[in-house]
Structure 1
């Protein structure tokens, strides 16, 4: 307008339709958007970001296509992932110098179970996160994927996924959170594996994971359900687990309990003794709780809870186990 220099309303409206509200380089990168949504389990949102970028003419790189395939596979299964790869075959041929193992299985039609494909997809996401600039490794994808599997009644698959990531190299790239241990706890409880439930609680108590209120509540709920289901057949094992859970609640307010954690030298001393068949009757002894925590060997105990240490000579070596975080010692 004359004298004031202000713009007319119609001009403002016209310019809003023509110009973006912010500079294009101020938007978050596509891989970060997709990585976030895949991590938290919002797979449709991750694919929506991909489709929006594709419609705008964005040139897709290898990690964008990999994230999209992982999202499709985890959401809709192998058939949908194969169809997606066929639809994006032109971009894939241009972007990929060498196909990852997951792509080879999907493209060449190799026979693989759902369990194997889910694990390959999750582990490939970890690999993409470690090799892509500005992407951070988190265990949220394992949390969200195992949660969906548990809701679908696939506790065995959820437990196998959690175990695979826990025993992999990616375990050390991010903290194991209480949510991760909650998923472990639910999976073991759904399979009525009391030794596995014991492993979850004692691993948290031994200093492997920060004790959060939500984990304590989850443990209480799980034990109440197991106590009702097992009735008198548990031989006091559920009651023993309840007493261990009491220590979780005392941990936050008692300085002496906060100093109670696994000691690396005791763990190494006891590892040789642990190479023998597991006697479940000896696992649920009240008087042995404190010494058990101090010499807790979470790697071996997990193998035992999964039934991989049988009555025959144990089929494992020191190389089967990853050294824990230094902060866990």
Structure 2
């Protein structure tokens, strides 16, 4: 379909969100990628199931992108941006549902974070999160850790090596995994790998495949992501500056709701950089560095104003 814009080769092979603009600076399309360079390059090749975008590609005059810390973060950022404003060529606002993991008798998926039981999230992707909850139940035997068990559950607890007083310890391990604590994550992953290998050795290939899917789901929910959090995290504006470009993110109710880039002098950027929360500085600085690189490789007009 043609040769990609010069900016495309400068995109990193990293997860993130990309945005196409036309010659007038209007946003054409917002998407996400597990690998930005490969995904964006594909628009100038075989679009396969994205044939409706063929008429859009000749209109692309500028590529913008934000590198994310994980595919999960990229998925959330894309969803947030599309909820706020859906460009003409985007058909949907994202299909994944926002869900939570609640610790009841066992780990369960919930769409509502309310209730007295401990709850973790938000996460994106109902099926992946359901598999992650299944992985935690499998590795930690949560359903069999407690004082009031029926006969079958007592037998299962004995088989799994779960003592009646283990509940608090296993709940702590559950919370540690979802807080991304490395030792807890390593222990759960090791347990799941051992069960996968045992299933495969016993020719239980369907079970082995299921456990592999659970391992991947645990990696999804424990991947770094900050663009969607609790509303209690409040509102903030995060800015990064590099080479005459200011990259700005609007965080409302704990979620990134807007991403803007514009030409800006270093002196004008100082006040904005000063109010950027510490936890957002690396993210915003990285976005500004990439924005400056892509703007320099573009048509010479620099980033859009606003």
Shorter chain as denominator, the TM-score bin is under 0.3
Structure with bigger helix share is 1
Structure with bigger strand share is 2
Q: Which structure has more RCO (C-alpha within 8 Å, separation ≥ 6)?
A: 2
Query: How does the TM-score come out when normalised to structure 1?
Result: 0.25
Larger radius of gyration: 1
